[in-house]
Amino acid sequence: MDFLRQMKVLPRWVIASLDAVILFQSAFFAYLLRFNFELEIVQQNNAFFGSLCFMLSGILVMFFTKSYKGIVRHTGFKDSMIIFRTILLNFVLISIVNIVFDKWVLGGYLLPVSVLIIAVLSSLFLLVFYRLLVKELFLYLKSGFVTNQVKVGVIFGASEAGIIANDVIKRESNSNLVIAAFLDDDPKKEGKIIEGKKILKGLENLSMLVENQGVSELIIAVRDLPLKRKKQIIEECFKYKVHVSIVPPLNQWINRGLNSEAIRDLKIEDLLGREQISLDNPQIKESLREKIVLVTGAAGSIGSELCRQIMYYNPRLVVLLDMSESALYELDLDLKNLAMVTPHQVVLADIRDENSMKSIFSKFKPDIVFHAAAYKHVPMIENYPEEAIKSNILGTKILADLSVLHHVDKFVFVSTDKAVNPTNVMGATKRAAEMYVQSLNAFLMKHHKNSYTRFITTRFGNVLGSNGSVVPLFKKQIQRGGPITVTHPDVTRYFMTVPEASQLVIEAGIMGNGGEIFAFDMGEPIKILDLATNMIQLSGKKVGDEIKIVFTGLRDGEKLYEELLNDSEKVKITHHPKIKIAQVSHVHYYKIESQLELFFSMVGKSNENEIVFHLKSIIPEFKSNVSSFEVLDRLN
């Protein structure tokens, strides 16, 4: 039995030998059946010689059709069709031999026609049957006859994706998962059978399956499953401590190869409070083709994903600029391993260094700039406001001004929802940068109508999985056994994934005409407490008993709720239902330019309160929260 378990693939010579024996026995059985098992008549008709000829003819045909090369435990419809063609060709070949023997050799057929027909039908049946029998034997051994380490699962979705998932799981020799049933919301499918597995209605029988059959796994295999229904399934699985997995879209599955490794665990992205946003603008490829693209902050979460996505559109060159040596080195290696066709150049530099930036613009002459470099961690920046001013405001101004001088076509600025009614220095610096690039765009449009750099801003919420975001933090805390730290039970945030954020930035760069602030319709905000609870449950732990949640209080500069628009901003729709344009009041260019220029003289000379006070004078809606700078609001 151990031998059978360890032998994953039958050798080809074994399959060929078995096929040959079956061909001989089928022909001999055909003689016996045709002549009513009367041995004397069977001998008189040269049954042994006729059976041998049928077998040798079949072996000859097998070497052309390669029917013996199939892996028996993966036998399917295509393998059966190959066997059918083999037997059909064998029938044709023997028929030709019969004609030759009848006219020029014996004056009669080598195999009587009735015997030949019986032999063909019986050999076809036996060749297919024994393959299916061996396949089932392998599945039986895998499913628990030789091992007790078996998990029982169900597949939610009895359509094409579910059937493929079941087939893949069955044939994977290293899988210890056995499917007990299918679940489906379609009442017409209830009670029907797929490969011996019954289809049950929805989630109504999940508790029964868990109790009676020990189901511990559920695989979601439904194309375009509504988010609301997906969340219901997941919550029900959490209730019964059932692990949830998801199959990829069929086209991705086929491209990566049909194997169980493609069935992935549930990720926190699957629990976003909205459907995943997907952008598909055919103009992107045309707009980026043969362009030189500069990405600042290229080694960050958004910047690195931006670089990967941009390179798929085959621009002439992508320049990767960042001041983080290690992260930039890793990104360079990653892109080289991806073997991209588009060339790239890494540049280790600081956007705050004006001379360095002048040299880079002169050397590479970029056509498009994606500006993602920034300091973004709210509590940290609250303690170092001068650094945020230098990077987020002055660094952006240096890049924007150089883009105009070097005739850059488009400058795409990556902002944040924290720039809306800011309560912290980080959000306020990003809002000041937004104001500058918008006013610069308006100035250029008025005075240089024919040709000018177009400045576009993208504004979005928190990015799941980005460096320093809450998700990696929660993962580390769960791995340590807890507790998970949440600032406040009511704190909420808008979330999006790194690919979504990067798509938005690229899309904005293509569709923007200049001066716009693009924002996503990000659905409902998510409670951080709910996010923490879901992550604990996804890890297979129990909230409270195994992993505790501790409330630590709001950090410096934090607010309970984020906003995508302030009270005075209205939105305009675009070609994509999920992308809006925030219509904000513009500031005169010379006013904001002189206000920001003052920062150059203040940096390194003024104290923190003076710098932040000046920032508040630029942005009247900037009201500090849980911060030492709250006292400045009383002075305005």
C-alpha 220: how far from chain center: 15
SS (H, E, C) 154-208: EEECCCHHHHHHHHHHHHCCCCCEEEEEEEECCHHHCCCEECCEEEEECCCCHHH
**What pLDDT, in 10s, does the model give residues 599-617?**
998 988 888 999 999 999 9
Distance CA 419, CA 396 (A): 15
**What pLDDT, in 10s, does the model give residues 443-468?**
999 888 778 899 999 887 777 766 66
Distance CA 534, CA 238 (A): 9
More confidently predicted of 373 and 240 = 373
Other residues' Cβ atoms within 10 Å of the Cβ of residue 35: 19
Task: Answer for the pair 287, 310: CB distance below 8 angstroms, yes or no.
Answer: no
Q: Does pLDDT of 198 surpass 60?
A: yes
3-state SS class at 486: strand
Q: Taking CA 30 as the corner, what is the angle to CA 29 and CA 34, rounded to the nearest 5 degrees?
A: 120
Question: From residue 382, how far is each of 375, 586, 629 by CA, in Å?
Answer: 11, 27, 9
The share of the chain scoring above pLDDT 90, in percent, equals 24
Question: From residue 259, how far is each of 69, 138, 143, 162, 263 by CA, in Å?
Answer: 20, 17, 17, 13, 8
Instruction: Find all residues with CB under 8 Å of 81, minimum gap 6, and list them.
Output: none
Q: Nearest-CA neighbor of 591 among 626, 611, 618? A: 618
3-state SS class at 422: coil
Task: Answer for the pair 106, 136: CB distance below 8 angstroms, yes or no.
Answer: no
Task: Answer for the pair 461, 493: CB distance below 8 angstroms, yes or no.
Answer: yes
More confidently predicted of 540 and 302 = 302
Q: Which of 142, 418, 559, 623 is catalytic?
A: 418
Q: What is the CATH number of domain 283-462+496-522+564-618?
A: 3.40.50.720
Q: Nearest-CA neighbor of 71 among 173, 184, 151, 210? A: 173
Residue position matching structure tokens 């949830």: 244
Task: Answer for the pair 625, 562: CB distance below 8 angstroms, yes or no.
Answer: no
Half-sphere exposure of 39 (CA within 13 A, CB side): 0
Q: Does pLDDT of 117 surpass 70?
A: yes
> First vs last Cα of the chain: how many Å apart?
85
Q: Does pLDDT of 409 surpass 60?
A: yes
**What pLDDT, in 10s, does the model give residues 254-266?**
444 444 555 666 6
**What pLDDT, in 10s, does the model give residues 131-164?**
777 766 766 665 554 445 578 888 888 887 788 8
Task: Answer for the pair 485, 529: CB distance below 8 angstroms, yes or no.
Answer: no
Predicted confidence at residue 146, as pLDDT, reads 43
Q: At what angle do helices 608-618 and 589-602 cross, to 10 degrees?
A: 180
Kind plus residue range of the DSSP H or E element containing 446: helix 425-447
What are the boundaries of each domain within the chain?
Answer: 2-143, 149-266, 283-462+496-522+564-618
**What pLDDT, in 10s, does the model give residues 339-385?**
778 899 999 999 999 999 999 999 999 999 999 999 988 889 999 99
Is 291 an annotated catalytic residue? no
Instruction: Write out the E strands in 313-421.
Output: 317-322, 344-348, 368-371, 410-414
Q: Nearest-CA neighbor of 62 among 86, 40, 82? A: 86
Distance CA 3, CA 283 (A): 59
Query: Phi first, then psi: what are they for 576, rounded to 5°?
Result: -110, 130
**What pLDDT, in 10s, does the model give residues 541-565?**
778 778 889 888 887 767 777 665 5
Distance CA 474, CA 535 (A): 8
Distance CA 362, CA 355 (A): 11
Instruction: Write out the E strands in 552-612.
Output: 570-573, 579-583
Residue position matching structure tokens 């959490």: 238
Instruction: Find all residues with CB under 8 Å of 256, minimum gap 6, and list them.
Output: 248, 262
Task: Give buried/exposed letters for 78-93 (b at 16+ CB in 10 A, else e).
Answer: ebbeebeebbebbbeb
Q: Does pLDDT of 91 surpass 50?
A: yes
Predicted confidence at residue 19, as pLDDT, reads 79
Q: Nearest-CA neighbor of 83 among 132, 50, 10, 46? A: 132
Choice among 99-113, 400-414, 496-510 with the minimum mean pLDDT? 99-113
Distance CA 388, CA 394 (A): 9
Distance CA 129, CA 335 (A): 50
* Mean pLDDT of all residues belonging to the chain: 81
Other residues' Cβ atoms within 10 Å of the Cβ of residue 341: 7
Predicted confidence at residue 417, as pLDDT, reads 84
Predicted confidence at residue 48, as pLDDT, reads 83
More confidently predicted of 589 and 278 = 589
Give the domain 149-266 fold: Rossmann fold (3.40.50)
DSSP 260: G
The share of the chain scoring above pLDDT 70, in percent, equals 82
Kind plus residue range of the DSSP H or E element containing 220: strand 215-220
Residue position matching structure tokens 């290690």: 326
Task: Answer for the pair 498, 466: CB distance below 8 angstroms, yes or no.
Answer: yes
Confidence of residue 430 (pLDDT cuts 50, 70, 90): very high
Predicted confidence at residue 176, as pLDDT, reads 72
Q: Fold identical between 149-266 and 283-462+496-522+564-618?
A: yes
Q: Which structure tokens are listed for 425?
A: 């220095």
Task: Answer for the pair 154, 213: CB distance below 8 angstroms, yes or no.
Answer: no
Instruction: Find all residues with CB under 8 Å of 430, minimum gap 6, and list them.
Output: 374, 392, 415, 416, 418, 419, 422
3-state SS class at 238: helix
Query: Phi first, then psi: what are they for 296, rounded to 5°?
Result: -90, 150
Residue 378, amino acid: V
Task: Write down the pTM of the prediction.
Answer: 0.68
C-alpha 276: how far from chain center: 11
Predicted confidence at residue 403, as pLDDT, reads 96
Distance CA 182, CA 422 (A): 50
| DSSP code string of 54-108 | HHHHHHHHHHHHTGGGS-GGG--HHHHHHHHHHHHHHHHHHHHHHHHIIIIISSS
Q: Does pLDDT of 539 surpass 80?
A: no
Other residues' Cβ atoms within 10 Å of the Cβ of residue 25: 16
SS (H, E, C) 458-479: EECCEEECCCCCHHHHHHHHHH
Predicted confidence at residue 611, as pLDDT, reads 93
Residue position matching structure tokens 């219509």: 583
Predicted confidence at residue 285, as pLDDT, reads 80
